[in-house]
Amino acid sequence: MPFRRAIVEELAAALEGKVPLLQVIVGPRQVGKTTAAEQLADLLHWPTVFAVADAPLPPGPEWLETQWRRARLQKPGRTGKVLLILDEVQKVTGWSEVVKRLWDEERRTGGRVRAVLLGSSALLVHRGASESLAGRFFLHRCQHWSWTECHRAFGWDLEQWLFFGGYPGAAPLADDEAAWKRYVADSLIDVALSRDVLALQPITKPILLRHLFHLAATYPAQILSYNKMLGQLQDAGNTTTLASYLRLLERAFMASGIELFSQGQIRKRGSSPKLILWNNALINALSLRSRRDVQADGGQWGRLVENAVGAHLLCGLSPTEFAVTYWRDGAAEVDFVVTAGKRTWAIEVKSGRAGKLSGMAAFRKRYPKAETWLIGADGVPLEEFLGQPVADWFR
């Protein structure tokens, strides 16, 4: 039986619920959003219309109207509902306004159509939904594959996942590192940057954005000031431009610059960001070093471990409930700080990296009510922490 991610059951429960909403799936490229939609249709056993807007020229509003009309003409099953899945919806001209009109008609007339919208450009889908479909949709984030998913689907051990990351389409190439690197760099990274990030809004310095992403992949899990970044980037702009480009990369589920923790504030703007890549594949595909070389380098392997924990936090914690930051005061540093309401957790990753000094004692002295997690040696084993839904550690 093909591997089925948890999002499939999540979508099924939402569609079978009492509150009818448009179900919108966003997430990075090549993580199985279309496959999840196909598995959803198999799971529900509803009459289904599956349509993909992949014409050479962008389809017009009539394409959406046609697919919706097809769904309305389907013979109802035992539930009386019909499933309409619209893939690559962002390619349809004016798609969000058309969907809004059709969905409002469906609700007004008590129609049977339940729609699921997804597309390869997560940013464009999310933006269209937010601008035109307010109050009408529920957002599902189909994230990068976790270690447990790769272990169950491909039989990978933890070290394989820490190096190759969580792209299912690239998994069959893992035995040939050169081919795997070319595939991730050309088919995933380059496409995501050119079609998602650069297509979202006018970018005055596209080369700078690409160089910024490559810089983040070179310094995973490291704190880097904007001024230091500017000193290493060609075609440099200013710190405001860099910060805005980092936020774009975050919205594309590629890289984040998490900010300095400051109690009483959600974020401390202007702090030096800690660079986290959302998938370790994004680091190693752009590196000239082999897996054997990286594993032999305790410092770099420790960075991969720390980055993987950070990515696990970002992928698994809802940004509406949790904030993920870091803390540093002089030489004292805490790898990650998670906050939810009035609760705070300090997280120290014991990666075995030489020369790393723990700032946990200094942090607890400053914030005595904070709770702590030690991940790795002398704490929660890395396999155990990465093997559970991350939100379970903060309940």
Domains of the chain (ranges, CATH numbers): 6-141 (3.40.50.300), 151-394 (no CATH)
pLDDT of residue 200: 64
pLDDT of residue 190: 94
DSSP per residue, 343-366: EEEEEEEE---TT----HHHHHHH
pLDDT tens, 332-377?
Answer: 999 999 999 999 999 999 876 655 667 999 999 999 999 999 999 8
- For the cut 80, the answer to whether the pLDDT of residue 25 exceeds it is yes
The residues with which 118 forms a beta bridge, in sequence order, are 25
pLDDT of residue 354: 58
Tell whether pTM > 0.85. Answer: yes
Q: In which region does residue 124 sit, left (phi positive, over 0), alpha (psi from -120 to 50) or beta (all else)?
A: alpha
Cα 267 to Cα 261: distance, rounded to the nearest angstrom: 7
Share of the chain above pLDDT 90, in %: 73
Share of the chain above pLDDT 70, in %: 94
In the chain, the DSSP E strands lie at: 22-26, 48-52, 82-87, 113-118, 137-141, 222-223, 255-258, 274-277, 323-329, 332-340, 343-350, 371-376
pLDDT of residue 1: 56
140-154, 190-204, 268-282: which is most confident: 140-154
pLDDT of residue 355: 57
Q: What values do phi and psi take at 346, rounded to 5?
A: -100, 135
pLDDT tier at 203 (50, 70, 90 boundaries)? confident
Q: Which two tokens stand for residue 175?
A: 């035995």
pLDDT of residue 22: 95
pLDDT of residue 310: 98
With contact defined as beta carbons under 8 Å apart, do 385 and 393 qualify? yes
- For the cut 60, the answer to whether the pLDDT of residue 267 exceeds it is no
With contact defined as beta carbons under 8 Å apart, do 390 and 317 qualify? yes
- For the cut 90, the answer to whether the pLDDT of residue 314 exceeds it is yes
- For the cut 80, the answer to whether the pLDDT of residue 264 exceeds it is no
Cα 139 to Cα 278: distance, rounded to the nearest angstrom: 19
Of residues 193, 181, 151, 170, the one with CA closest to residue 30: 170
- For the cut 60, the answer to whether the pLDDT of residue 93 exceeds it is yes
- For the cut 90, the answer to whether the pLDDT of residue 143 exceeds it is yes
Q: Which two tokens stand for residue 159?
A: 């070290």
pLDDT of residue 353: 64
Q: Which two tokens stand for residue 64?
A: 């959406």
Q: What is the mean pLDDT of the chain?
A: 91
pLDDT of residue 269: 58
